[in-house]
A and B are shown apart, each in its own frame.
Chain A
């Protein structure tokens, strides 16, 4: 399969991009970060092509379905969504520093997809429960949500770093490249809100699907329950900022908690008995 080969190369491209962002931040040079951006964009282009190719390959194998059906495909799509949303944020804000913490997540997802022995990259047919048009909308919305939360995670780490700067001391070039704290926070809030909307849509499309497949829109399956936990954590974050006026560090810490809950919803739940376990 050509698509799998392209995807394994994309993994390295994202690693190169991460290295560029890192050097850019450490040496305080925008030139490196700009190179890293181009690298990430090229990777995203190839990534997109590979996803479309894999979609076509599945038709050639006579099972025809969007490449969103098992752990491998979900990891690959998750990484795609992370890079896509990140580049969108970068383009809108013209600041490249968050890349240091966001792009490596995409790299790790891709690396895990291609290296882990438990993750098969074979195109498999769909079991009866997955044979639904809701599969695509459910998976895309969920993972766009996860990706937005991942961007928020990168911003939260940046925020915590910027926060440690001692007042009064001359800021190094390193700190100078990190966006202003208020801008970071606004961006963090926007990312969380975007992720929250996507996760809400993901939960809703999932319940519509469950309503048709199992006759219950909600059945307290661990995946469902954990997605609710994640939803609740981010709902708390939004309320803490909006109504209680939480700022800065506390908000960043909540974004980290939310990211952990999201990761558990995605991967940890596989260790619990669940309809959703990727096996």
Chain B
């Protein structure tokens, strides 16, 4: 047992160290939530001097959860947990394996409700007590002391081992986290509608990864509730192996898809810049002319009367449907206004709208009248691609953690003793018990046990 005198060992076997490390972890986590981390730190960086940033970056304040500090604290805690558990385990094991010892002092000063005088011979009563105990306790033993035989039952010894299940759970979770960060794969795939991606961008700007298969986004769909809250984000995907479709499916939030061992999640989306607005215009009474323009593009009106530029494209402008904002430059100056697709419906719902909001009048550049026939918006979808070999370890750790805590909380190590002695020519039964925790349950159990003897019509003591 030389190891226990080793200063390193004794350092790690201290629970004070545990408390300090837990406090350090808590403080680091608090700092990590107050100081923006990783990408979000760039906003903060604009407001700080380069010197300050350099110091903070060296201290790894902006990536605290992967910093040396955090890893050090976690490492120390792991060592601490292992050493403490090893140190304390033998004592717990002894308590777990402990045989009953029946000492007479247990029966000193018992309250009267824990004793009863019972009719019958001593051997009969012992048998009856044995039966009663066996019904409640798996582990029943008999010891003879000078006053008579003592029967001893116990249950719930396993509770002494619960804390080690908890510690094992924590260790498994840490191991799973390490395995995940070492061998896990974490990347993002951007795919425009109708396009096929074969590579993924590794998280943290660590370059590109060739997937070895293709993912085609056949369609991206957003649905909203009536109040405008998002209802569905959905990518219809086709996975292509050697150019041939191998798997087709819809990817939604909370419904990932797995292909070739990589799990894909709906992560984000956006609109491609090359979505075209289909505009038409006519001079009063003249022919209708069509144009299809992307955001920022412009086209010329006939006879050099002006140029029209698309300034904004909105899928759903103020809950009134698709709209584009256009700017017209001409010899008369510049004018900007919105053109809605569902102009008739809006006009019916809001009489006098164009008088109130001239900006919504599609005829603001008279004598031309503009209309929007549709927006060919093209979305792109962003998928997260991930594999994490640590997940089974973490899951097992979680199970151990909860099972161990339940063992500690729910199971009580209870021991009861029944003394059967001859007194005043009668047989007297005395019961007593110990629980790891003070609880009303044990008292109930003892009361029930003594009732077994009284119910048979025996005299009370």
Contact = CB atoms under 8 A, between A and B. Distances in A.
A220 B253 contact: no
A229 B409 contact: no
Those 9 A-B pairs whose CB atoms lie nearest each other, nearest first: A128-B253, A215-B265, A222-B33, A215-B386, A243-B15, A204-B398, A215-B384, A132-B254, A236-B22
A84 B212 CA distance: 55
Contacts of A194: 409
Contacts of B16: 244
Interface in B204-263: 225, 227, 229-233, 252-256, 263
Contact of A214 (B36, B232, B267, B409): B267
Interface stretch (A33-41, A51-59, A111-119, A195-203): A195-203
Interface of B: 15-16, 18-19, 22-23, 25-26, 29-30, 32-34, 36-37, 40, 65, 84, 88, 163, 177, 186, 225, 227, 229-233, 252-256, 263, 265-267, 384-386, 388, 391, 394, 398, 401-402, 405-406, 408-409, 437-438, 440
B437 A193 contact: no
A226 B34 CA distance: 11
Interface of A: 92, 124-125, 127-129, 131-132, 182-183, 186, 190, 193-194, 196-197, 200-201, 204, 207, 211-218, 220, 222, 225-226, 228-229, 232-233, 235-236, 239-240, 242-244, 261, 269, 272-273
B19 A239 contact: yes
25 contacts: A124-B229, A127-B230, A128-B254, A132-B254, A197-B406, A200-B405, A204-B398, A212-B256, A213-B265, A214-B384, A225-B32, A226-B33, A229-B30, A232-B26, A233-B22, A233-B26, A235-B22, A236-B19, A236-B23, A239-B19, A243-B88, A244-B15, A272-B33, A272-B34, A273-B40
Contacts, number: 117
A65 B35 CA distance: 36
Given A212-B256, A243-B15, 6 more contacts: A128-B232, A197-B405, A213-B265, A226-B33, A235-B22, A261-B26
Contact of B401 (A92, A200, A217, A244): A200
A197 B267 contact: no
A222 B64 CA distance: 13
Which secondary structure dominates where chain A touches chain B? helix
Nearest to B385: A215
Contacts of B33: 222, 225-226, 269, 272
Contacts of B32: 220, 225
Contact of A217 (B65, B88, B394, B402): B394
A273 B25 CA distance: 21
Nearest to B405: A197
